[in-house]
Amino acid sequence: MKNITRRDFGKSVAAAAAAAALPKFAIGQSMAAPRQFPQGFLWGCATAAYQIEGAAAEDGRGPSVWDIFSHTPGKTYNGDTGDVADDSYHLYKRDVQLLHDLGVQTYRMSISWSRVFPEGKGMPNPKGIDYYDRVVDELLANHITPYITLFHWDLPAALPGGWQSRDTSKAFADYAAYMTRHLGDRVRHFMTTNEFTCFTDLGYREGRFAPGLKLADGPANQVRHNGILAHGLAVQAIRANTPAGTQVGLAENATVFVPVIETPENIEAARRATRLGNAPFLTAVLEGKYMDAYLRHEGANAPQVEPGDFKAIGSPLDFVGLNIYTPTYVRASRSAWGFEVEQPPASYPHMASPWLTIGPECIYWGVRNVCDVWKVPAVYITENGCSSDDVLTPEGRVEDTDRVMYLRNHLANLHRAAAEGYPVKGYFLWSLLDNFEWADGYSKRFGIHYVDFPTERRYPKLSAEWYRDVIAQNMVE
Ligand code: PNW
């Protein structure tokens, strides 16, 4: 059979349209409106300190729980550590150049708390602060707006009890105050914490992440509480130490509930599930209290709350950052909760990381659920991206067509949210570079730039070329 080329197909469609007296359109041109993003929409990339910086023992940096954990045999893939990572500590100018070449307006980065306060508190380390001054100044010189996360999991190892102690939440607020007072003249956007569930549950209940503990429900719930308390105290500290107009938020991987079919009942089920499914974290932060249903469910294991905690935790935010990767499908049901979660069948597709199931509509529903339930003033996608089995050819190319597919479909769905009027202000692609993917070490690549770790050379992948076009046109095809 003769292969039908795109051109033939276009011709035959055009001929059929003419015959049927349908509106005319040019060959290859879609009848659908182009997916143009709102004017001023911010495009960016995201990274995190421990995943890219390396220089783990340089210039007075103190160890974090991730240094200890990754150096403990059996904890990370292949025993990989962040000792060198992308060596961005030394190569940051090259990385800012990559951002510049993409044409991004903005960059989300995090600060290594133990680089600034090697002991977690006490005396700051001037060389650590200098590094972040240099990075921020380099970004600004390239007209790239920094969005800074104060805590992306690399807790100073010296803090007694880690997140099991309320003192850590207070130490975090002091560090946030110091850091934002220092950077607040140049940086106007701060996120307190990244992904509560990863640094609390994965670190203290499941033991898959640093510090690798497997606590019982009671103490593990207290760790969660100390995490949201740290966020709240830090919001207060940032407000008190920065000029008016500084924007404060957080980056949260809220569970995104997607209606299995878009019926009014299932959409309502997704809303209910959004509140309940995020009860210990985002719901508590945005409602300024724990849901009764959560407290009832946890019973004797519910966290201890001290007077004033929720005044801090419920501090109003300027924006909510959502890290969006995967969908959780939900439908209406007659159960007590009013919804039921669908487990994906074994054949459900995923990217190179087995947990990274593909459901591009999750980015639309993530924004919509959060805006509909909590009426937040502004939303950013603070992370979205995927791992692929990238192969660097001898010519230095990486044809990551699957990553382009993943990103294109997510952006089409994000466009839907923007077009419906939801207040999405920007998008940070995870990640600028392949980097230390936590317990998966260097075995999973999330970058749109390939990093050849032995040489630290960076190569733009096909996805980087594609993203550059998206940014230039403020549009996704
Ligand atoms: C996020 N999960 O982590 C983090 O913010 C990044 O540091 C990380 O590199 C990126 O996503 C890719 O993993 C997650 O198992 C890690 O569902 C694991 C999960 C989700 C997010």
In tens, the pLDDT along 53-77 reads 999 999 999 999 999 999 999 999 9
108, 192, 198, 250: which to mutate for ligand 1, most atoms within 8 A of CB?
Answer: 198
Q: Ligand 1, closest atom to CA 356?
A: 17
Return the half-sphere exposure (C-beta side, CA atoms, 13 A cut-off) of residue 467.
35
Instruction: Report d(CA 157, CA 38) in Å as an integer.
Output: 43
CA of 3 to the centre of ligand 1 (A): 42
- Continuous H helices in 103-162: 113-116, 126-141
Give the residue-averaged pLDDT of 24-28.
54
86, 430, 432, 440: which to mutate for ligand 1, most atoms within 8 A of CB?
Answer: 430
What pLDDT, on a 0 to 100 scale, did the predictor assign at position 53?
Answer: 99
The verdict on whether 298 is a catalytic residue reads no
Average pLDDT over the chain reads 95
Given a contact cutoff of 8 angstroms between Cβ atoms, the answer to whether 367 and 331 are in contact is no
Q: Ligand 1, closest atom to CA 446?
A: 12
Give the containing element (helix H, strand E) for 469.
Answer: helix 462-473
Report the nearest-CA residue for atom 13 of ligand 1: 437
177 pLDDT more than 90: yes
Instruction: Report d(CA 416, CA 262) in Å as an integer.
Output: 14
What pLDDT, on a 0 to 100 scale, did the predictor assign at position 450?
Answer: 99
Residues lining ligand 1, judged by CB closer than 6 Å?
A: 48, 51, 194-195, 198, 253, 323, 325, 355, 383, 430, 437, 446
Q: Ligand 1, closest atom to CA 353?
A: 13
| Amino acid at position 398, single letter | V
- Closest to 369 (Cα-Cα) out of 330, 336, 333: 330
Q: What are phi and psi of 190, to 5 degrees?
A: -125, 140
255, 322, 438, 451: which to mutate for ligand 1, most atoms within 8 A of CB?
Answer: 438
pLDDT bracket for residue 255 (50, 70, 90): very high
CA of 321 to the centre of ligand 1 (A): 14
What pLDDT, on a 0 to 100 scale, did the predictor assign at position 261?
Answer: 98
Among the options 53, 138, 361, 383, which is catalytic? 383
Superfamily of domain 34-476: Glycosidases (3.20.20.80)
Strands (E), 170-324: 189-194, 247-252, 257-259, 320-323
CA of 357 to the centre of ligand 1 (A): 13
pLDDT bracket for residue 239 (50, 70, 90): very high
The verdict on whether 383 is a catalytic residue reads yes
CA of 226 to the centre of ligand 1 (A): 21
Q: Is 194 exposed, middle or buried (0-12, 13-18, 19+ CB in 10 A)?
A: buried
What pLDDT, on a 0 to 100 scale, did the predictor assign at position 310?
Answer: 98
Instruction: Report d(CA 471, CA 352) in Å as an integer.
Output: 26
Q: At what angle do helices 88-102 and 462-473 cross, to 10 degrees?
A: 50
What pLDDT, on a 0 to 100 scale, did the predictor assign at position 477?
Answer: 87
What are the domain boundaries of the chain? 34-476
Report the nearest-CA residue for atom 2 of ligand 1: 355
Q: Please state which of the ranges 32-41, 102-111, 348-357, 449-458 shows the lowest mean pLDDT.
A: 32-41
Report the nearest-CA residue for atom 16 of ligand 1: 198
| Amino acid at position 127, single letter | K
CA of 441 to the centre of ligand 1 (A): 12
Report the nearest-CA residue for atom 14 of ligand 1: 198
What pLDDT, on a 0 to 100 scale, did the predictor assign at position 33?
Answer: 66
Residues of the chain with pLDDT > 70, as a percent, come to: 93
Helix, strand, coil percentages (3-state) for the chain, rounded to 5, are: 40, 15, 40
- Closest to 366 (Cα-Cα) out of 407, 325, 427: 325
Report the nearest-CA residue for atom 15 of ligand 1: 355
pLDDT tens-digit readout, 156-169:
999 999 999 999 99
20 pLDDT more than 80: no
- Closest to 371 (Cα-Cα) out of 331, 325, 320, 410: 320
What pLDDT, on a 0 to 100 scale, did the predictor assign at position 28?
Answer: 56
41 pLDDT more than 50: yes
pLDDT bracket for residue 148 (50, 70, 90): very high
pLDDT tens-digit readout, 96-107:
999 999 999 999
- Closest to 58 (Cα-Cα) out of 96, 78, 88, 97: 88
CA of 303 to the centre of ligand 1 (A): 25
Residues of the chain with pLDDT > 90, as a percent, come to: 93
pLDDT bracket for residue 29 (50, 70, 90): low
Most confident among 1-10, 27-36, 215-224 (mean pLDDT)? 215-224
Report the nearest-CA residue for atom 9 of ligand 1: 437
- Longest Cα–Cα distance of the chain, Å, equals 79
What pLDDT, on a 0 to 100 scale, did the predictor assign at position 17?
Answer: 44
What pLDDT, on a 0 to 100 scale, did the predictor assign at position 8?
Answer: 40
Start-to-end CA distance of the chain, whole Å, equals 30
pLDDT tens-digit readout, 354-399:
999 999 999 999 999 999 999 999 999 999 999 999 999 999 999 9
Among the options 195, 252, 361, 437, which is catalytic? 195
CA of 146 to the centre of ligand 1 (A): 21
Give the residue-averaged pLDDT of 31-42.
88
CA of 364 to the centre of ligand 1 (A): 19
Give the residue-averaged pLDDT of 448-474.
98
What pLDDT, on a 0 to 100 scale, did the predictor assign at position 26?
Answer: 56
Q: Ligand 1, closest atom to CA 440?
A: 13
What pLDDT, on a 0 to 100 scale, did the predictor assign at position 46?
Answer: 99
70, 149, 195, 200: which to mutate for ligand 1, most atoms within 8 A of CB?
Answer: 195
Give the residue-averaged pLDDT of 284-298.
98
Q: Ligand 1, closest atom to CA 387?
A: 12
CA of 327 to the centre of ligand 1 (A): 14
What pLDDT, on a 0 to 100 scale, did the predictor assign at position 34?
Answer: 83
